[in-house]
Amino acid sequence: MPAPAPKSNNAQHQTLTTILRNIILEYPSGGGVLRELCQNADDAGATTIEFVLDTKTHITTNILHQGLAEYQGPALLAYSDSMFTEEDFDSLSRIGDSRKRDDMSVTGKFGRGFNSVYNWTDTPSILSGGDLLILDPHFTWSKAVSPESPGGPRWDYVQDIKNGFGTMMRNQLSAFSSIIKEFDNPFPGTIIRLPLRTSLESKIVPGKTTSQEDILEVFEKFAKEIVDSLLFLRNVNTIVMRVDSPKSDSFYAKAVVKAEGRDGVNKGFKEVFVEQIEEVYEKDFIMEIALETIKGEEKAVIAEKFVISHYMKKEAENKQLQEWAREKKLFPWIAIATPVEAAVPFNGRLFTTLPLPVHTKHPVHIHGLFSITPDRSNIHAGGDRTMAGTSDTNLGASWNTWLFRECLPHVWIRNIGFLNGMPEGKHTGWDFWPAGIQGEEQAGQLWMGVLNLVFQRIVKRDLKLLPTICGRVGKKKEILFASKVEEAIRDALSQAGCLVVIPPEDRRSELSKLKVKDLGIEELTVATVRDSLSKLKDSLENLTPENRGVLLDYVLSSGPGDYATLGFCHAPLLPISNDKFCSFDHSDPKLFFPMTTKEADLFKHYPRMIDRKKLSTETYQQMKKSIKELDHTTCISTWTTTEAASYCENYIFTNPRPARNANFITLPSSESRKLIELFWDWVGNAGKINHKQLSANLSVLDGLWLIPTMGDGLYHRISTTERGFSILDVSNLGYIGKFLKEEAWEIHEGDGTQYPIYTGEGFSVFTSTLRDLRYIDDSENVEYLISWLVENSTNFVDRLLEASKIKLLEHLGREVKMNIKLEEKKIAARERIGMLSLFREAVPTGENHDSSNQPWISLKDGFTYIGIEKIPVKLDADHTKFIDTSQYSGDPLLSIGLMRCPPIGKIIEDFVVPKIKTTRDLPLRVQLVTFALAKFEELSDECRQQLSRMEIVPVDEDGKMQKCPANVVDRSLEEYFFPEEYRIPSLKFYDKYISALRELGMVSKIDHKFVLDRILEYSQKSYTKREVREKAEKLITNYKPSQKLPEEYLMCQWIPASFEEKDGLYNATECRGLKDGTLVKYAMPVMKIPVSQQWERVLGWNKPLAAKYVLRQLKGATKAKDSPALRHLITSELKTLMECKKDFIEDEWVPDTRGFYHRACDIFPHDLPHGDLSPYFGTLPPKFQQNTSCISLLEIMGMNDMPTFCQLKELQDRLAAKGPLNDNDLRIALFIVKEVGARFAEEDLNGFKAPDSKCLLLPLKDLTAGDPGPDDGDRAILHQEISLETIKQLNIATFQSRGLDSLVDLNFEDDFAQRESPATAISDTLERYGAATTFNEYLANAEDSGSATKITWILDNSEGYSVEKLISKELERAQGPALFCFNDGQFSERDFRAVIDIGIGSKQNDRSKIGKFGRGALTMYHWTSVPSFISGDSFVIFERAIPTFELRNEKTSSWNEAKA
C-alpha cells in the first residue's frame, strides 16, 4: 500500500546541511542540547519534561518510506506536556527567523536553538497533538514523499490511521512507544525524537556518530546541574531522565520543584514586559527541589532549598538602550537564587533562564536576560574600541552593565531582607552577600563590584540589614564600622553584643574603600568602643574573662594621652580576685596595681588587687608605664611600705596569730613562707637604697617574723638577732642559690631530708654579716659549689629531677667558663663535674624513642664521648658514646671542655652518610636520608657531592624505587613527563626537601638539554597521541628556546598537529604552527596552538616552504575557493611560486571579482572600460590588486593590463563554436567587437566575426549594418547593438554602401578616400552652410585642435605653377589660383579619419570641443572641387567622389568672391 499523502509540508527552505553545521558550532553537543529543549518547552508553557534514551530498534518494514528504516533504531526522546502550535511548526521551518523573535511572552528564539539536536541526529521528528513531522535536511527520502517541497513532510497521523493507513502509520510511530502507546487520538503533548546518528557520511557532522553511551554520559552530567536548570524556568517544575531498555533501566533521574509563589513570575512577566501595564514586579519565595537518581544499584535522593528573588522593571532609563534591548527581546529582568540548603559544594553562575558557562565567585546564582556572545559562552562585556558605540556588542555590554549596576543590587537587597526574615534566623551574616573584588582580573568583570552598591543602598535607605559580628543586624546609626579588626577583638566585641560591622576578608578590600563617615556611619575607635561598652555595662555578665581582657587591652591601647576620660568608662573590665571585675570609675574604692609579678603574688589576697596574670603583657606594661596618669584619673593606685606591713600582719601571721613577744615562729604553710620570700624581694625593689635608707624604710616592719632560716618554716622576728650556721648560703637571690634552695626544700618536703643551706634571701644586711663571720659560704663560688655537689652527690645530685640536673650542669658550665681562669683549676673542675651523674646517651627521636627513659650517667667508664643534638636515627661507632646535648642550653659541655661536640653537618658526614652507603635496611636508609636532607644547609660541599651521587630520591609511592637527584625532575615540571618514566619525586619527599634536591642537581628548569630529552621521549611510540599532544603543547607554549635543534631532533615525530580534521604527531619538516594556518592549511598539518618566534626559528618554520607544499597549498586553496589563503601564500612564498611557476601556469587558480577562477593570463588587474568578459576572463579582486606580490607574480605569469587581440579572437572562436549565443555570451561577443574596433582596427581582421541579428557569430565580410531594403532579405544583418563608430572602425559594410558599390566601380581609392557616398552629404552641407561660414568653421577647428595658437588665410592668385609630372593628369586643373587656410596645430590620426567619415567627426563625443569636425570642413566645397591639405608629414588630395556629379552646376568661384 502506498504511503498516505502528507497534509502539508514544512521543509526548511534553505541549504540546510551547511547552515545546520554552522549552527551546531554555536550550540555544541552535551547538556546544552537538553538545556535548549528545556528552554523551548518552558517557553511553550510546559510543566513537565521527560528525556528518554530508547535503546530498542523498532519496526522497519511497511513504514512511511523505506528510507526511514535506518532511523527506527535507538533514539533520544524529549517529552513535554505542551503542544506545538501552527506558529511553532512554521518557526521550525524558518531557521534563524523564528516567529518567537517578535513574541514578547517568551524568552527564547525557537529555531536555531532547536537545531542543536543535529549534534546527535540527522533526522529529528516531532509528534504533537495529531501531527507527525519528520525533518530530512539531506533531502533524501523526502523527495519521494513530497517531490515539490522535500525536507520536512508533516502528517496528520490520526486522520491517516482513520483513512486506512493504520498499519503503516503505527509501524512508523512504534519508535515513539517509550512514551506513547496508542495513536488513534491526538497526543496531549509533544515528543521530539532524535534517532542517534549511525552514519559517518552525514553532511552536518561528517565522520561522527552518536552512541547510546554518549547520551548516557550526557544524562549523568546533566543530572548534576538539573537542579540549577530548574531555578529560573517559569513553567517547568519536573524534569525526568530515564533509559528505556529491554534489559533494565540503567539510569534514572527525576527533579521536582516545590515553590509557593513561583506562579506569579509568569503573571509579572506578562504584565511588565508583554502588556506593559505595570512598572515593576518583585517577588521572593522559597524553592525546594527534590532530586532522585538511580544508577545501577546506586540510588540517591537529595533535597536542596533556595531563596529566589525576582525583579522586573518595565524599562531602562536610557531610552536608546531600552529600544535596542526590546528589539533584541532583552528585558530588565534580574533574579537570584540563594542556596540556603545545598547538597553539593556551591559555585555561583550566570543564567539566562538556563545556566551559562560563566562562574561568578558569588554565593548565589544570578539570572538576567543578558546580551550574550554568539557562542553562548559569555556575556558581552565591551572593551573592543574598534567597534562603534552603537554596535550590538557595545550596546550589549552597556545593557549588561546596567543590569548589574542598577537591577542586581535592588534584587539582592530584597533577597537579603527575605533571608533575614526567615524563622530559622540563620542567614543574617555575610554568607549570601555579594562576593568582593579579588584582584585585577575580577575588577574587570561586570558582575563584580555589586557588593559596594548593595552596601551603600542599604545604608542610604537606612535598612536594618547590616550584618554585625554579634549575629544581629543593625541600621547605620546603631553600628560601628571597621574594615579589619584583630580576631580576638572581634570575638570579644561580638560576645559583648556590640553592633560592629566588619566585612569578611573576601569582601574587605572592596568595602574598605568606602568613606563610611560620609554615609553617616561611626567608625570603630577606642573612644567609640568605650562609649559602646559603657552603655552595655549591665549586660556584660556572660562576657568571658578572656574577652574582657581583650577589650581591656583595646580600651587602653590609645595610650596615656587619651586617659583623661578613662575614669568615666563604667564597663567592668579590670580583673581582680575571685574572678570578679571592676571598672575604671574614679569614684570607686582604691584598686591596687601590681608593679611586678612578685608584687602580684605577694599581695594576691587583697580583695581589690588587680590580677596581673589576667592582664596581657602589653596592657600590663602600658598600665605600669602610665601608672601616674591612672592614679590621677581613675581608681587605680600602687602599694606603699606602710600598706604592705599592714597586709603582712593581716594576711600572713594570722593562722594562728603569734604572740607579740615570740622571737621564732614556725610557718607550716608553704604559701605563707612564699609570701615572706616575696615580701623581702618587694622590699628590696621598693628600697633600691643602702642599708641606712633601707632600715629607715623598714621601720614599720618592727615586730614581724620575716627572717628565714633552714628548717620547717622557721622564721625570726625583726630586731631580734639570731646567729646562722656555717652552711651553704643561698640567700643572695642568685640563680644557683635560688635553685639549690628550691631543690633542697622540695626534697626536704618529700622525706624530711635537711641540707646545710641558709635561706635568708632578701635581707642582705644580715646575710653580709653572716658571710663576714664565715658561718655561711657563698654558693656563687663555683669551686666550693662543685665540691659541695660532689660531697652531696648521692643524697642531692642523684635525687634531682631531670630538668634540675640539666639546669645544674648549664650553670656549672657558665660559671666554669666565666670564673675559673687557670687551666689546672679548669682541669680539676672538669674531672670533678664528670663524676656527677648529669649526662645521658643520645637516642633517636620519635614515637618509639623516649630520652626520659635513659639513665643518667657519669663520664668515668673510659669511652670516647661525643656530644650531639637529638637526631632521628641511632648512631653507632666503636668505643664511642654519643651524649645528648640537645637538652642543655649554652653548650655547657663545650664550656667545661668535657667532650668534643662537632656540628651536625660533621656528624652527618662522619657517621650518617657512610651508613647510607652500607645499609640494606630500607626503613633505616630512608631515616638516614631524610635526616641528612633535613640538615642540608649544614653539610659541607664534599658531603653534598657524595649525596648527589647516591640513589636517595623516592620516585614511587612506597619509596622502593629511588634515583639520584640528577635523574629526577622538579614537580613543577611534572606536566611534561609521563608516569611511566618515574622521574618525579614523591610528593611528601619533594615538599619537604625541595631546596636540597635542587642543590643536589634535580632538574628544576626548562633548558636546551631538557627540551632535547623531552623531544626524544615524546617521539617514542609507546605513548598515545593525546598524551603526547598535551605535554608537547605545554612545552611549546611555556618555553622559548634559544639554541638550534640538532638535525636528528628535527626529524623526531613529536609535534601535535591536525590535517583535514585528523590529529597526529609530526616532525618539524612535516607541519607548521597556528600562525601559518592560513598559509599551509591545505598542504600540511597545522598545530592548534600559537607558536612563539623562538620555536619557529628553532623548528625551521621561519624559512620558506618547500615547493611541493607551496603547490599543494595553491591547489587546495583554489579548490576551496579560499582567496585569503591564496593572497597569504603569494605574499609569503612569492619567490618559490616564481621559481616553480611552470608547474601551475596552466592552472585556473586566480580568482576574479565574480568568484570564478582563471589562469594568470586570463585575468586583468582592473575593470575593463567597456564591461567584463566573465566567466571566460575576469577582473582581479581589489585585495589582489592592492597586493604588490600578487601583481608581480601574475605579471610574470602573463597577466596583461588589457585583453590582447589574440585573446579576444580565441574567445570569439570559442563562442562561435557554441552556436546561437545566450544573453551572457552575446554580451561578451558585443564587448569583443567593440574592443577590437577601438584598439585593434589595424590588425588583420581576416576571420574576425561579429554577432548577427540571430545571435550567430559570422565573419565581418558576411555581415551588413543598417536597415535592409526590400531586396536585401538574404543578407545577414549585423546585430543592432553594435555602434556606428565600431562599424566604421571595423569597416563593416552597410546596406547603403553596398548599394553604392553596386552602382560605382572606382578604380583607385587610397587610404583616405571618403568611404561613405559623399554626394548627398556634401550637397546637403552646402545648402545649409553658406560660403561665409567657411571662415568661422575653420576658426573653430583650429581652436578645438588644442595646439593651434594662430590662423592665417591666404588668397593665392598665381598662374605659373608647373603641371609636369603630377600625381595624375587630372590634377592639372588644381595647379591654378587657390585659397589657403593655415594654423600652427597638427592633425591627429583621428582627425584624418574624421575627415574621411563624413558627418561623424573626431569630436562628436568630446564635450570639451566646440565643433564636430566633418560637416564644418565640407564648406570648403563652396570654393573648390579638389581640396587638399598638408599636416605634419601627410599630404591629402580629395577627388570628386562621383565623376558625373557636378557640384552646384559646376559653379566657378572667382577671385572676387574669395576677396569678398
One-letter amino acid at 121 equals T
Q: Range with the lowest mean pLDDT among 3-17, 401-415, 1169-1183?
A: 3-17
Q: How many residues does the chain have?
A: 1460
Residue, of 1324 and 658, whose pLDDT is higher: 658
Point out the least confidently predicted range of 44-48, 437-441, 846-850: 846-850
Is the pLDDT score of 502 beyond 70?
A: yes
Asked if 539 and 570 count as a contact pair (C-beta separation under 8 A), the reply is: no
User: Looking at residue 1313, what is its pLDDT?
Assistant: 30
User: How are beta strands 1276-1277 and 1263-1264 bridged, if at all?
Assistant: parallel
Task: Between 276 and 1445, name the one with better pLDDT.
Answer: 276
C-alpha grid cell for residue 23? Answer: 549552527
* pLDDT higher than threshold 50 for residue 1240: yes
Are 54 and 175 contacting, i.e. CB atoms less than 8 angstroms apart? yes
Determine the 3-state secondary structure of 188 from DSSP: strand
Instruction: Name the range with the highest mean pLDDT among 423-427, 1011-1015, 1174-1178.
Output: 1011-1015
pLDDT in tens, 1192-1221: 989 898 899 889 999 889 988 988 888 899
Q: CB–CB of 1416/1375 below 8 Å?
A: no
The residue written with cell numbers 635581707 in the block is 763
User: Residue 107: pLDDT above 80?
Assistant: no
- Distance (Å, whole) CA 206 – CA 566: 84
> pLDDT value at position 725?
37
Q: Is residue 191 within 8 Å of 130, Cβ to Cβ?
A: no
**Measured in whole angstroms, how far is the alpha carbon of residue 367 from the centre of its chain?**
21
Map grid coordinates 490520526 to a residue.
Answer: 158
Q: What is the pLDDT of residue 726?
A: 40
Q: What is the pLDDT of residues 653-670, one digit of tens each?
A: 877 777 777 655 677 777
Q: How far apart are CA 994 and CA 934, in angstroms?
A: 10
Unique residue bearing C-alpha cell 552518536: 210
Confidence of residue 795 (pLDDT cuts 50, 70, 90): confident
> What is the mean pLDDT of the segment spanning 547-576?
87
Q: What percent of the chain has pLDDT over 90?
A: 32
Least confident of 514-523, 885-894, 1098-1107: 885-894
Tell me the C-alpha distance between 456 and 516, whole Å: 9
C-alpha distances in Å from residue 1002, one per residue of 652, 975, 995, 1038, 1346: 71, 16, 10, 20, 91
**Least-confidence region, from 180-194, 525-539, 1078-1092, 1420-1434:** 1420-1434
Name the phi and psi angles at 1050, rounded to 5. -65, -25
Per the listing, cell 530498542 goes with 56
Q: To the nearest whole number, what is the mean pLDDT of the chain?
A: 83
- pLDDT reported for residue 1443: 38
Residues forming beta bridges with residue 1352, ordered by sequence position: 1382
What pLDDT shows up at residue 772?
47
Pull the grid cell for residue 125: 521528528
Residue 294, CA atoms < 13 Å, CB-side half-sphere: 12
pLDDT band at 155 (very low <50, low <70, confident <90, very high): very high
Q: Mind listing the pLDDT tens digit for each residue in 1392-1441? A: 655 655 544 445 445 445 454 455 677 788 778 888 888 887 788 876 54
CA distance linking residue 813 with residue 896, whole number of Å: 5
Q: Which helix (H) or strand (E) holds 670?
A: helix 670-687
* pLDDT level of residue 848 (50, 70, 90 thresholds): low
User: In which band, very low, low, confident or very high, does the pLDDT at 451 lie, cut at 50, 70 and 90?
Assistant: very high
The answer to whether the CB of 427 falls within 8 A of the CB of 340 is yes
pLDDT in tens, 921-945: 888 888 889 889 988 999 999 999 9
Residue 1386 binned pLDDT confidence (cut-offs 50, 70, 90): confident
Residues 1390, 1377 contacting (CB under 8 angstroms): no
Coil, strand or helix at 1403: coil
* Per-residue pLDDT band at 108 (split at 50, 70, 90): low
Quick one: which of 830, 840, 841 has its CA closest to 897? 830
* Poorest-pLDDT segment among 28-32, 907-911, 919-923: 28-32
Cα angle at 979 between 974 and 980, to 5 degrees? 135
Q: Of all residues in the chain, what percent carry a pLDDT higher than 70?
A: 85
Helices 941-948 and 922-934: crossing angle, nearest 10°? Answer: 140
1454 secondary structure, DSSP code: P
What torsion do the CA atoms of 615, 621, 623, 626 make, to the nearest 10 degrees? 180
**Max mean pLDDT range (95-109, 258-272, 420-434, 669-683):** 258-272
Is residue 383 scored above 80 in pLDDT? no
* Residue-level pLDDT at 1418: 74
Q: What is the pLDDT of residue 1445?
A: 34
CA atoms of 577 and 866, how far apart (whole Å): 52
Please give the single-letter amino acid code of residue 807: K
Mapped onto helix, strand or coil, the DSSP state of residue 1434 is strand
Say what the pLDDT of residue 1323 is.
65
Among the residues of 966-1040, which ranges form H helices? 987-999, 1008-1018, 1025-1038
How far apart are the C-alpha atoms of 724 and 730, rounded to whole Å?
Answer: 12
Q: What was the pLDDT predicted at 1413? A: 42
Instruction: Give mean pLDDT, residues 1376-1403.
Output: 69
CB–CB of 882/842 below 8 Å?
yes
For residue 686 the three cell numbers come to 621598693
What distance in Å separates the CA atoms of residue 1292 and residue 689, rounded to the nearest whole number?
145
Cα separation, 673 vs 721, in Å, equals 20
The better pLDDT of the pair 437, 54 is held by 54
Q: What is the DSSP letter of 274?
A: I
pLDDT value of residue 895: 75
Find the mean pLDDT for residues 420-430: 78
Pairing outcome for strands 757-758 and 776-778: unpaired
User: Going by C-beta distance under 8 Å and a sequence separation of 6 or more, which residues neighbour residue 1211?
Assistant: 1173, 1176, 1177, 1203, 1228, 1232
Q: Which of 373, 77, 79, 105 is nearest to 243 (CA)?
A: 77
Grid cell of 1358 as nine digits: 598665381
pLDDT tens profile 1178-1188: 999 998 888 88
Predicted confidence at residue 959, as pLDDT, reads 83
961 and 1014 Cβ atoms separated by less than 8 Å: no
Look at strands 238-244 and 664-666 and give their pairing: unpaired
Q: What is the dihedral angle through the alpha carbons of 1249, 1250, 1254, 1258, rounded to the nearest 10 degrees?
A: -20
**DSSP type of residue 2:** P
* Cβ atoms within 10 Å, residue 272: 22
pLDDT at 105: 57
Residue type, 112: R
Residue 179 has pLDDT above 60, yes or no: yes
